[in-house]
Chains A and B, each alone.
Chain A
Amino acid sequence: MGKTFAEKALGRAAGHEVRAGEIVTVEPDFCMSHDNAAPIARTFKKIGVKNVWKPERIVFILDHAVPAPSDDHAINHKEIREFSAEQGIANFFDVTSKGGVCHQVMCEEGFALPGLIMIGSDSHTCTYGAYGAFSTGIGRSEMAAAWATGQIWFKVPESLKVTVTGSFRPGVSAKDLILTLIGDIKADGADYMSVEFHGPAIEAMSIAERMTLCNMGIEMGAKNAVCPPDAKVLEAIRDKAKTDRWEALWADDDAVYAKELTYDAGDIVPCVAKPHTVDNYAAIDEAKGTPIHQAFLGSCTNARIEDLRAAAAILKGKQVAVRTIVIPASWKVYRQCLAEGLIETFLDAGCVITNPGCGPCMGNHEGILAPGETCISTANRNFKGRMGNKESFIYLASPLTVAASALKGEIADPREVL
């Protein structure tokens, strides 16, 4: 009987064969924290251990509110600076032009690698599955404990196999696929599970698109989400892998799955997730015409160069009709936008282009909504109050749909402007 990806990755880390349902304790390859490293450090100090188990395995990336927008945030950042200096944590991305949204930086900088066990004190840590890593989000206490002990327990998850064939039609992208999938299986459709993406449509995708898919694994309750570590991944990590502990692992053909689903990419249409849940799917035909007050192109889900190129192609030479906030996922992406003239395109179209970071995604920074306002966003959550105000409304969509909507001032079908 074959094994799933999760069984292989956790078995490799545990040093013995494992099957779904078993509880294993493993040593994480990398532990990622963002601005919440400060409260975690305080909890860590309460444990009473002097030093973190392996400083080289800990990564801090400031992204939730950078540069600090209040003295409270500034104090939080300062605590992280002091803690990383004291503990010798060299992988610290401070307020400079070297960082960005934590998950993007983890991938760009070669931390996300096939077969590694990666934990992060952020629920979207599952993004690194695009590189074939077993990666998952955990809470603050658990991260503090991991720093102290170098260990974390997992119940080996059952797996959901999603096979995608065919190819996207123009105006459709990975975001539409993942919103469709979550709409179908709902917010708890993959609770506790490992989601594996298989099939020719996945293989045809860029790593950026795979990151969009894996990023939203958590939105269906998954423990992790993963794509095959194929030649594209191996090429992407060449010369930048931060460790050689990695190994390209993938599920056996005869692995046993709790559930299997198949999609034809050609059947997917542009869509949105309506307020206030990610699984509140609506095809674009149903949603278009909804007036909006703000468009947001950003977040760890959809702000890579591929996403911004797609949006810029729609915005070029035109004027946005609503305030449009563009936040590249990282400074590398920002730099690439400059080189390709996209920053100019966005500025000329009337957008705000801020420094990379999480922006308004979780109600902390640039672009908070007022009561009664509606935003169309490329981010991953549209929960009530998510962007800072409980009486506002968030629609999730692809970069193409967000750009098309920004031009019209209402939710629009990107196929009509392409």
Chain B
Amino acid sequence: MKITGKVWKYGDDVNTDVIFPGKYTYTIKERSEMAKVALEDLDPEFTQKAKAGDIIVAGKNWGCGSSREQAVSCLKERGIGAIIAKSFARIYYRNCFNEGLPIIVSPDAVEAIEAGDEVTVDFDSGKVITARGEFPFPPYPDFVKGLIEDGGLIPHVKKSLGLK
């Protein structure tokens, strides 16, 4: 699997409240509506302009804060291809796999990549490929690979329970 897209770059400790504001947790139910407010308190330009296939590159501890899965759903629904960060907050990390949104931990790639770059993530070879160089990243654990391959936790659970 390969994903190529334009980069939106952010700093350290971007929390779930700016990715998906808490005030919307019970007023917005539809995923398509979630996508419309993604990152609105951090980067209104992203909210207006981000396109399917774009890639988010961020510093350490992306997604710290709440357990709200909408902070992943809104980006997944927006069509974000992948998030590359120096590190991810714990619950956010799990939520990404559960939603089937690919994430890559690569501090070196984050250092090198600039906003607006075009970047390719090659999952098969485990590399982030940019005009500024190539950065390998470790493969996902087998367990997690299964989740991604099945398209997220819910389809994975259905499959493992033999349900359609």
**Do A and B touch (CB < 8 Å)?**
yes
- A363 and B26 contacting across the interface, CB-CB below 8 Å: no
User: Could you give, for residues 350-380 of chain A, a 1 whenever the CB lies within 8 Å of some chain B CB and a 0 otherwise?
Assistant: 0000000000001110001000000000000
Most buried by A among B90, B158, B160: B90
Cβ of B1 under 8 Å from chain A: no
Q: Looking at the assembled complex, report how far the CB atom of B96 sits from the nearest CB atom of chain A, in whole angstroms.
A: 9
Most A C-beta atoms less than 10 A away, residue of B27, B60, B67: B67
Q: C-beta contact mask, B37-77 vs A, less than 8 Å → 1, else 0? A: 00001100000000000000000110011111100100000
Closest CB of chain A to B158's CB: distance in Å? 6
Question: Taking the complex as formed, is A87 at the interface, i.e. its CB lies under 8 A from any CB of chain B?
Answer: no
A39 interfacial contact with B, CB 8 Å: yes
- Nearest CB of chain B from residue A188's CB, rounded to whole Å: 4
Contact call B95/A148, Cβ cutoff below 8 A:
no
Closest chain A residue, CB of each to CB of B164:
A48
Judge whether A137 and B22 touch: CB under 8 Å.
no
Q: Which residues of B contact A149 (CB under 8 A)?
A: 157, 160-161
User: Is residue A139 within 8 Å, beta carbon to beta carbon, of the partner chain?
Assistant: yes
Residues of A contacting B154 with CB < 8 Å? 43, 46-47, 141, 144-145
- A176 CB, min distance to chain B CBs, angstroms: 21
> Does A320 touch B at the CB level, under 8 Å?
no
Say if the beta carbon of A58 comes within 8 Å of chain B. no
How distant is the Cα of A122 from the Cα of B91 in the complex, in angstroms? 10
A168 at the interface (CB under 8 A from B): no
Measured CA separation A149–B161 after assembly (Å): 8
Contact A141 B153 (CB under 8 A): yes
The number of residues on chain A lying at the interface, defined by a beta carbon within 8 Å of a beta carbon of chain B, is 55
With contacts A48-B163, A72-B26 taken as known, whether A139 is within 8 angstroms of B69 at the C-beta atoms is: yes
Q: How many residues belonging to B are interface residues under a CB distance threshold of 8 Å? A: 43
Q: Using an 8 Å CB-CB cutoff, how does the interface string of A129-147 with B read, 1 for contact, 0 for none? A: 0000000111111101100
Residue among B42, B91, B99 with the most chain A CB within 10 A? B91
Q: Contacts A23-B143, A64-B26 known; A383 to B67 CB distance under 8 Å?
A: no
B98 contacts chain A at the CB level, 8 A cutoff: yes
Whether the pair B87, A137 counts as a contact (CB closer than 8 A) is no
Contact B13 A277 (CB under 8 A): yes
Quick one: CB contact mask for A165-204 with B, threshold 8 Å, 1 for yes? 0000000000000000000001110011000000000000
**Can you name the residue of chain A whose Cβ is closest to the Cβ of B72?**
A139
Q: Is the CB of B25 within 8 A of A386?
A: no
6 cross-chain pairs, A with B, having the tightest CB-CB distances, nearest first: A362-B22, A188-B61, A363-B23, A139-B69, A139-B95, A383-B17
Pull 14 A–B residue pairs with CB atoms less than 8 Å apart, ordered by A.
A48-B158, A64-B26, A72-B27, A122-B66, A122-B67, A123-B66, A137-B67, A137-B91, A139-B91, A140-B67, A188-B12, A221-B90, A383-B65, A386-B17
Residues of chain B having any CB pair with chain A under 8 Å: 12-13, 15-18, 21-23, 25-27, 29, 41-42, 60-61, 64-69, 72, 87, 89-91, 94-95, 98-99, 141, 143, 152-154, 157-158, 160-161, 163-164
